[in-house]
Chain A
């Protein structure tokens, strides 16, 4: 319920236009006075000046609550700051899009980023003083301790082929890492001086198609 205004300069309350009072509404026998006429017409002028005009000559001065309604019949946006039509929204990249890696238009979401060929598919940092133990990892379910310094990284999602590159780094001076590509990455850590397999902490990263 909108209360009637009395002498206010604002003809709106919560977006509803209300006529100036006293004098409105008019009844039979009412004498037209200058105050009634001027105030009423002034309010109407103010009301029209705050409306959205269809010819675009008005400038919006605040956010417009759409109350779940849509703008329809939009022209397609063409420059920065334009509104866009629904069909202008780009479909987000799927796993397949990421694996193919050729689209230059599909936006990438965090849940799909890792499927691109350039993204690491496996990484693990593990200690090894006799028993290889994961410190932190990605896409790894467990380690298999094959022999001294020889560890297979059991991937939750294995590579689709055993030809993808594996990169390893010993977290210890005086050692190096022999990497063995496979559907599950494998590494052998070795002493630099003798090449003998040895247990040292190791970091491994691998790239490829899952």
Chain B
């Protein structure tokens, strides 16, 4: 899947995804009749079009009022040159892939410092926990390792959260029945859970891949 990564003014990174139909449209510049054939053709080859025919037809209708749409976009804060560029391109098509991706990037996240289109090479299983640590390094999506460590600690906190309650309940029972040995054993387990975010391997991990594998025994 192709994505556009946006470097925001605060250094964080957002991504624009699922823009394939938009990309196709900006490149195509088709008449309504051609659009019908286009949709049918895309569906026939199983293209991941996240759109319905009725939606495309709405777009045709909407884009007939290009000036009105530009003004609506400007009114909500989008710079006029971006609003004009996107709306006219949407209406007229005929863009190269690079031009279309640039328009999508500006339309999807026009407050970005810069935007880069790329293949999504980061597995979702990693992205889901660590994307607050995304960083644009040149034209590639990389990691801010300090932010990744914080993201990992947050992940460990989520993992330990459900383990606290049964241990604390068992400890209260042990204390109530005078079983101090059991209470002490449970306290040791609880302390291990409290300490998972202080695992020294977190601070020394040099890559996100290393961080992902740092799961203290108390959480296993």
Task: Give the B-binding residues of A (Cβ under 8 A).
Answer: 95, 111, 114, 124, 126, 129-148, 154, 156-160, 162, 183, 193-194, 196, 199, 210
Contact = CB atoms under 8 A, between A and B. Distances in A.
A164 to B, nearest CB: 12
Given A131-B1, A144-B15, A157 B22 contact: no
A20 B73 CA distance: 80
B1 A133 contact: yes
B152 interface: no
Contacts of A130: 122-128, 131
A111 B59 CA distance: 11
A194 B75 contact: no
Contact of A132 (B18, B61, B90, B158): B18
Q: How large is the interface on B (under 10, 10 to 19, 20 to 34, 35 or more residues)?
A: 35 or more
Contacts of B58: 114, 138-139, 156-157
Given A137-B55, A148-B131, A162-B76, A142 B18 contact: yes
Interface string B87-98: 000100000000
Given A156-B90, A193-B162, A210-B72, 20 more contacts: A111-B61, A114-B54, A130-B125, A130-B126, A132-B18, A136-B50, A137-B52, A138-B55, A141-B19, A142-B18, A143-B18, A144-B15, A144-B16, A144-B109, A154-B16, A157-B59, A160-B75, A160-B76, A162-B76, A196-B158
B75 A131 contact: no
Given A133-B1, A141-B108, A146-B14, A156 B59 contact: yes
Interface in B117-154: 120, 122-129, 131-132
B83 to A, nearest CB: 10
A208 B19 CA distance: 23
Contacts of A160: 72, 75-76
